Structure 1
Amino acid sequence: MLQLTHPSTTLTPKFVSLQESYEQCRQITAECSKTFYMGTLLMPEAKRRAIWAIYVWCRRTDELVDGPQAKFTTESTLDHWESTLESLFSGHAKDNLDVAMVDTLERYELDIQPFRDMIDGQRMDLYRSRYTTFEELKLYCYRVAGTVGLMSTVVMGMDTEINASPWMCSNPASPPIPEAVSLGIANQLTNILRDVGEDARRGRIYLPLEDLELFDYTQEDLLKGVIDDRWRALMRFQIQRALKYYQEAESGISRLHPDARWPVWTALMLYRKILDVIVENDYDVFNRRAYVSKARKLLYLPQALVRSQIS
């Protein structure tokens, strides 16, 4: 007699609905990055949902080496995470948050390489706690943050009207790829300067050692939280470097789709403002966390709107 087998009920995992998955991504973004979240609220619904999904994937990747369970993370952990990434790009979710990410990948032509590069950035954190030169640090900044610029640009979209005029057809505008990377690097350098004290307590120094030597400031000084004229001069030097990358990023915003310019300008201006707060705090990033208050954020919204319309 032919034996009929019953279909297994365990082969297809039960996940939340697509709407619920995006809502979970929204909540995580709102809780973990208030400044970034404010910028996303200025986007059309479809774009902001996609950005929330990407943000959550990036945050989960970062938490593998910086989160509560980071001490258990190994190369094998990251290998498994990269394998999961490949599953996402194949349309297969592994958990509730992945449901939104799979949908985002279906809607937008995202390249897997920036995601892989970000995982490689986390690999650097597994075995490095110092960077000798800025070039070494720049590679790290690209991997953990410049990649976010590349991912986000695909969702933001290009301004299709740029090439509408006949005289522009032979000189098409290129996607703002270098500028997107510059904005990611600028944001990461800002994070590094804001979090010097927090990183030092974990035994990490991201400021290039060659820069410390340039200002006769030692690793021991940094780990002790010494604030003096040497430290202030070093921080001014680092802030100017970050500002240069913000300036490079600005030139690419005008090539984005019009509905993306205001949120990008808002995010850029608010994040750059953190550098001003560091100065206002007399460069004390050991005992005081530099942040932009909600009231000040709201003041920047109309300024960012004006910039988005004239730049």
Structure 2
Amino acid sequence: MARQYAGVTGQIENCQVMVFCAYAVDTGRALIDREPYVLAVWTEDAARCREAKIPRPRAKEVITKPELGRRMVERCRRAGVPFGWVAADSAYGQDRELRAALERRRIPYVLAVPVDETASTHGTGPLRVDVLTRKVPLVFERRSCGKGTKGERRYDWALAEVTWPGGSDGGPRRGFVHLLLVRRSISDPAKVAYFAVHARTGTPLSEIVRVMGLRWSIEDCFETAKSDCGLDHYEVRTWDAWMRHITLSMAALAFLNVTATRTDDTTSPPPPVPEPDHPEKGDPDPLSS
């Protein structure tokens, strides 16, 4: 607990900040990893860390939120979790070390970046992404990035091939490309968002947009875990107590998602069986020939 930026309110609050990893597939989603973010005001006070039972390595250094994200991705890899992409908001997307770590492991990503992040092309050199998009030709396509609470989330999307700083030397790895994904609001074209993309060569725009839409899985997981599994209903004062409560809530959320998916599989009507074509009068019966 400390005064820090709270994403829920967009302001500096006296709050706790946690880093979570969500796993999303077409049939469901769940939280699979978690860690509290500990600020310097805590790690610089060894006695305070001991009282809260924060592990010793935590009490010796300040670890950023993107570093926690890197650790979670690595734990997923070591555990053999099958995943094809990593997606995150700009708090992680602007971290060049995170992008470089994913590229070294040849992991595709779609990461939001702020407007002052830089990228370069052969014709422009390094520029802020909001400036770059005014200097390179963009072809927008209208697509949905998934369903929201009000229906399909439709935007105009465009891709530009760029080079992102902080990645592998000399550009992307063999067989991969760096791309800038631009999202523009249909109702207000002045509202534009930018995403750093590291993808296999030939990946279509539709796939990249789909992955970007899955980034909201983390928000869906938070909403359900808080309302149905008590994720934020705790009054604990130590690290290990927090980990126990959060882990139990995450397990409950996973159980609910698996159960819901299996229920959908058993209650969904089977696909219709196509009727055989009726032969014209005078034609031989194909079923008897």
TM bucket, shorter chain: under 0.3
Higher RCO (CA < 8 A, seq sep 6+): 1
TM value normalised by structure 2: 0.27
Report which of the two structures shows the higher radius of gyration computed on alpha carbons. Answer: 2
**Structure (1/2) with the larger strand percentage:** 2
TM value normalised by structure 1: 0.26
**Structure (1/2) with the larger helix percentage:** 1
